[in-house]
Structure 1
Amino acid sequence: MNTTTNIVKTVTHSGGFHCSKDALTDMFGWFLQVLLACLAFTCLIAKRFCEPRSERRSWLIWFYDTSKQGMGAMVIHLANVWLAGQYTGDPCTWYLINFLLDSSLGLLIIFTGIRICQFLSRTKGWEAINFGEYGKPPSANAWMTQCCLYVLLMVIVKVSITLFMQLDFWENVKDFILSPIPNPKVELAFVMLIIPFFINMLMFWVTDNFLMYKSPSKRRRCSTESLLHRAKIKYRSLRHKKRRGSESDLMLSADDELLDPETVPITRAAVFT
C-alpha cells in the first residue's frame, strides 16, 4: 500500500499525469464545462448588440446562426472529453492539445467547408446549404440542413485532428505542456475554463462572421461607396488637368500677344518717337 502511494506521488511530481482519468467527468469537471458554455455564448450575445442597429439580426436569425455553433461545439467537446481518457497519461493535457488543434487547424477546415457550401449554393442553386440564409420567412428546414452540414464539418475536423494526433512527437508535447502546474484542480481549471474561454471567445466570434448572412444591400452599399470613391478620384484628376490646361492657355495667349505682328510695328514706332 505504501509502495503504491509512493509510486503515485513520484509520477505526479515527475511531470506525469496530474489529474485522474475521471477528472474531466466528475462534478467539478462538469461544473467547469457548463460554466464555460455559458460564458462562451454570452460573448455571442454581446456580439449581436455590437452590430449596427440597421444591420442587427433578429433574435430568430441570431438563434439560427449561433445554434449551429452550439451543436458543433458540443460534438467537438464531448469527443475531446472521451478521447482524452483513451490516451495514456494525463487526460487534461491530451484534452488541451486536442482543443488547441481544433481551434487552429479545425478553424481552417471549417472556413474551407463553409466556402465550398456557399460556392455550391451559387453554382448549383442549392439555397438551403447557403450558410446564414434561411429564406423569407426564415425556414426551419434550411436551418436544420445547415445544422447537419455544420455538424458533419465538425466530424471531419475531429477525424482529421485525431489522425494528426497519432504522430509520435505529441508524446513529448504532452510531457511538456502544463508540467509547471502541480495542483490537479488548478490544472483542470486552466484546461477546462481559463484557456478555452479566451480561445472560444475569439473562435466563436470569427466563426459567427463566417456563418452570418450579409445582405445584398450591404454589398451594394460597399460597392457604391467604392464607386463614389473612384468618382471622386477621377473628378480630382480631371479638375487638376483642367487647371493645368487653363494655366497653359494663359501662357499661350501671352506668347501670342508677344508674337502678334500687328503689335510689333506699333511698339517700334512708339520707341522711335
Structure 2
Amino acid sequence: MGECKLLGGAFAIAVQLVLFVTTLAVMYGRKRCGPERSWPVFLLDSSKQYMGAGYIHLLNLALAEKLKSMYSNSDPCNWYAVNLALDCTLGVFFTWQFLGLSHVILKMLKFKLSDFEVGRYDRSERYSQEDGQKAGGVAVAPYFKQLMVWFCVVTAMKLCMLAIMMGLEGDWQALSSFLLDWLNPYPKAKLVAVMCVVPAIFNGLQFWLQDMFLAAKTTSSQLSAQRGG
C-alpha cells in the first residue's frame, strides 16, 4: 500500500493543475453572478485572491510535510485537508477581521486611506493622467498597496490557524483520520480527494465570501469610469 504524497511525481503535478483550473472556474462564476465590475477591476480583485491563495497553498504543503515529520503516525494529506478546511472557514472570519484592523493601523500611521480602500482603483476619482500606470480604466498604484496589505492579512490569519491546529493537534488528527483514512488503500484517489474535491468545495466557499468584502461597491458612474468611458 502506497502513501498519499502531496509533492513529487507527474500525477501530483497534474492534480495541482486541476486544482488551479477549478479555482479559475469558481472565480469566473463569481464574475457572472457577483457585483457588476469591469473586467480590469475584476481581474485586479481576483488576482489578489489568487496570489494570496497560492501563497497559502505553498505554506500548507510545507506545513503538512513538517507536521508529518513531527507526528510520526500522521498523514501529510490529512494535514493538508485540515489546513485547508480551517483556512476556508474560520480563517475567512479572521481574514475579514484582520483586514478591518489593517485599516485602523494604517489610519493611526497616517497613510492615505483612499489608496487602501479595497477594490478601488479608479483613476478618475483620485489620480491625474501622470499618476500610476494605466490598466484599462484603472490605476495600478493603489492595487499594489492593497496587495501588500492583503499578504500581511493572510499571513496573520495563517499564524492564527496554525496556533489553533497545534493547540488541538490530537483532535484534528482524529477527525481527519476518521474522514479520510478509508482512502489509504488508494493513495492516488486520496490525493485527488484532498487536492481537488475538498478544495473545490472549501476554496469555492472561501473565494465567494472573501470577494464579498474585497469587491468595492460600485456605482454606474464609477463603472463607466473603470471602463474608460
Alignment TM-score, normalising by the size of structure 1: 0.66
Partner SS state of residue 165, structure 1: helix
- Identity %, equivalent residues: 29
One-letter code aligned to 1:28 = F
One-letter code aligned to 1:166 = M
Pick from 43, 47, 72 the counterpart of residue 30 of structure 2: 47
> Structure 2: 5+ residue runs without aligned partners?
69-73, 125-137, 222-229
Pick from 132, 156, 170 the counterpart of residue 119 of structure 2: 132
Cα-Cα RMSD: 2.4
Alignment TM-score, normalising by the size of structure 2: 0.77
Q: Is the 8 A contact 2:115 2:145 kept in 1?
A: yes
Q: Tell me if 1:58 matches 2:45.
A: no
Q: Deviations over 1:188-239 (max 9, x none)?
A: 0100001111221121111111101103679xxxxxxxxxxxxxxxxxxxxx
User: Where does residue 11 of structure 2 map in the other structure?
Assistant: 28
Specify which structure has the bigger relative contact order, considering alpha-carbon pairs within 8 angstroms and separated by 6 or more residues.
2
User: Where does residue 38 of structure 1 map in the other structure?
Assistant: 21
Q: Is the 8 A contact 1:118 1:131 kept in 2?
A: no
User: Where does residue 251 of structure 1 map in the other structure?
Assistant: none
Deviation at 1:135, TM superposition (A): 3.1
- Mapped to 1, the partners of 2:143 and 2:116 lie a distance apart of 9
Deviation at 1:148, TM superposition (A): 1.0
Partner SS state of residue 179, structure 1: helix
Q: Is the 8 A contact 2:89 2:202 kept in 1?
A: no
Query: Structure 1 stretch 173-182 or stretch 200-209: which is displaced more?
Result: 173-182
Change (3 A) 1:121 1:133: farther
Runs of 4+ in 1 over 4 A off after TM superposition: 117-125
User: Where does residue 58 of structure 2 map in the other structure?
Assistant: 78
One-letter code aligned to 1:128 = D
Q: Tell me if 1:157 matches 2:154.
A: no
Pick from 166, 171, 174 the counterpart of residue 172 of structure 1: 174
- Mapped to 2, the partners of 1:183 and 1:207 lie a distance apart of 34
Q: Deviations over 1:36-93 (max 9, x none)?
A: 1111122212222234xxx621111011100000010001100001111112321100
> Structure 1: 5+ residue runs without aligned partners?
1-8, 13-17, 219-273
Change (3 A) 1:95 1:134: same
- Mapped to 1, the partners of 2:33 and 2:6 lie a distance apart of 37
Count matched residues: 198
User: Where does residue 185 of structure 1 map in the other structure?
Assistant: 188
Residues 1-273 of structure 1 correspond to what in structure 2 (within 5 A)?
A: 18-19=3-4, 22-51=5-34, 56-88=36-68, 89-117=74-102, 125-137=112-124, 138-167=138-167, 168-169=169-170, 170-181=172-183, 182-215=185-218
Change (3 A) 1:192 1:205: same
Partner SS state of residue 181, structure 2: coil
Q: Is the 8 A contact 2:37 2:218 kept in 1?
A: no
